[in-house]
Amino acid sequence: MDRWYSLGGFTPNSFLGFSDAPAKIVATGWSGFGYEKTPLDLELENLSGKTIKAVKVKWFIFRVDKINGVVTPREKPKFILQGETPSIETNDFKAKERKLISYWIGSCREVYEAYVEDGETEGEPWLESTITEILYADGSKWTR
């Protein structure tokens, strides 16, 4: 089970360079394993100065290397699974606030099957999420 730990439960590093959005993902959490779809929890921080009404999130699962206990990204990561949420309502997510949102991604079984299909035996599983769209209360929109 240690191999799956890197799929959540800590403050994320952006190995893909997605740390420039007006709302920042400050923590992730994997909400369990099973055959059904599995929710991923994200804690967001609103850095925009505006009230956010909804966000879209894109997620990627890929492999990283662990060298002497340090997680190291690969120069050209190969995505094993990826997806994008529909618009997730955040109600009145005000500037400088933090908010927890959840969305559904593949089950542990689907993730495992994607790793088997990938065929590579080296590397640790890694999940990274990024905000791709923000709808503000004033009707304006930010997109990546």
Domain of residue 33 covers 2-143
Q: Which residues pair with 124 in a beta bridge?
A: 64
> Count of alpha carbons within 13 Å of 128, Cβ hemisphere only?
19
State yes or no: pLDDT of 47 exceeds 80. Answer: yes
At 113, the pLDDT band (50, 70, 90 cuts) reads: confident
What is the domain-level CATH number for residue 93? 2.60.40
Q: Global pTM? A: 0.79
Determine the Cα–Cα distance for residues 26 and 32; give it in Å rounded to an integer. Answer: 20
The amino acid at 111: V
Question: Do residues 54 and 88 touch, judged by C-beta distance below 8 A?
Answer: yes
Determine the Cα–Cα distance for residues 82 and 98; give it in Å rounded to an integer. Answer: 25
At 7 the pLDDT is: 52
Number of domains in the chain: 1
